[in-house]
Amino acid sequence: MSSTTGPNRRVLSGMRPTGGLHLGHLHGALNNWLRLQYEYDCFFFVADWHALTTHYEDTSIIAPSVREMLVEWLAVGINPSAATIFVQSDVPEHAELHLLLSMITPLGWLERVPTYKDQQEKLKERDLATYGFLGYPLLQSADILMYRAGHVPVGEDQVAHVEITREVARRFNHLYGREADFEQRAERAMRHLGGKQSRLYADFRKSYQERGDEAALESGRALVENHPRLTMADRERLLGYLEGVGRTILVEPEALLTHTPRVPGLDGQKMSKSYGNTIGLGEAPEAVEKKLRTMQTDPARVRRTDPGEPEKCPVWQFHQIYSGDAVQSWVQEGCRSAGIGCIECKQPVIDAVLKELQPIRERIIEFTASPGTVDIILSEGRDRARDAARETMDDVRDAMGLEYR
Ligand code: TRP
Ligand code: SF4
């Protein structure tokens, strides 16, 4: 309900280049992106400046990871003719918008974002008491608002960042979205609604602005959006006037939370580079096989004859992702009765993971061997991204009164 120009089909998402991708990324974000790229106008970017906020002391991992990440995206099927793929620092407008937004963002909003304290706790070995790290969510807001994205596919941990983005957009529009004669123009637009509709609109507006009545806000929006005879500009004005804000310059995005399976790491914790429990997308089959063969199982099964409990075993979580009903019942039954051994139980998982990774690995090798192809994809992506970014920045500078050169 954030877009004022019909249904917003723009999707934006990014990933930090801090090392190779693994099965957690594939089943979390990437499979989702693969679907989205054919249904939406997708922009996917490598968030290299975001990586700097935590890796500023030793930046050596960033450059190779940018390349590696792009190759891995391409290898899993992110399609540069369907989606725009680019690197954040190739579009310096992100830094400009971040700076401009920083002027209007209260410190408290950033200090209250849960990831701020969480990450500082979690990554104790790094000094994250920096200006840049505090601004992490705001840089993300700039990424999102730059492309006027309606939808941002993210994991649970990132929802707060989309939320703050909405608040920042609202504040920006409130501060700078006013035309000099906004009120008169809005009142004039109201008359175009027609007598009865215009009275309804006024009632909805009053209920929302005086009592915070969300239902009235929704009804008012529906009235405006479904009205057959409004110009685009009048529609925007009336939507802004309804909420008590001005014209929409920056579009409020929504988090697109898709249910994705949680891939356990080899030790049963969440799969994550920092826990050293990953299976990389480009890893050699022998290494993958060895990792799975030696991965943790239910600790109660010390001997082959001890019965186990799948719910306490990370291998079972893999079965839930990779195996059909028949194999799943075989595991449940065989584990609890000690009818099967753990090595036996792991075999279908090993087979499925190897089968899934094989074509990806082949394509990683292909793309790695032709850096020129990746260069072309990158430069096309950069051009498309910059075009969109320039358009937004023109509006932003204009709204802020910065076009005085
Ligand atoms: N913060 C995101 C993460 O760690 C990465 C990111 C940066 C991002 N900018 C973004 C995600 C914009 C979505 C939209 O996963
Ligand atoms: Fe885990 Fe399978 Fe062993 Fe049971 S039999 S403990 S599910 S690996």
Give the whole-angstrom CA distance, residue 130 versus residue 127: 7
Question: Strand order in 41-46's β-sheet?
Answer: 84-87, 41-46, 10-15, 151-153, 254-256
Ligand showing the shortest atom-to-Cα distance for residue 98: 1
Q: What is the pLDDT of residues 138-183, one digit of tens each?
A: 999 999 999 999 999 998 889 999 999 999 999 999 899 877 778 8
pLDDT for position 4: 37
pTM for this structure?
0.85
Question: Which ligand neighbours the alpha carbon of 140 most closely?
Answer: 1
Distance 32 CA to ligand 2 centre (A): 29
In order of their start, the domains of the chain are: 7-154+163-177+255-261+371-400 (3.40.50.620), 182-243 (no CATH), 282-368 (1.10.240.10)
The DSSP code sequence of 146-210 is HTT-SEEE--GGGHHHHHHHHHHHHHHHHHH---TTHHHHHHHHHHTT-HHHHHHHHHHHHHHHH
- Residue among 144, 143, 154, 152 nearest 29 (CA): 154
Q: What is the pLDDT of residues 63-75, one digit of tens each?
A: 999 999 999 999 9
The DSSP H or E segment spanning 136 is helix 136-146
Separation of CA 7 from chain center: 19
Mean pLDDT over each residue of the chain, to the nearest integer: 93
Q: How far is the CA of 16 from the centre of ligand 1 (A)?
A: 7
How confident is the model at residue 7, as a pLDDT? 64
> To test ligand 2's pocket by mutation, which of 302, 312, 315, 347 has the most ligand atoms within 8 angstroms of CB?
315
Measured by CA distance, the residue closest to atom 7 of ligand 2 is: 310
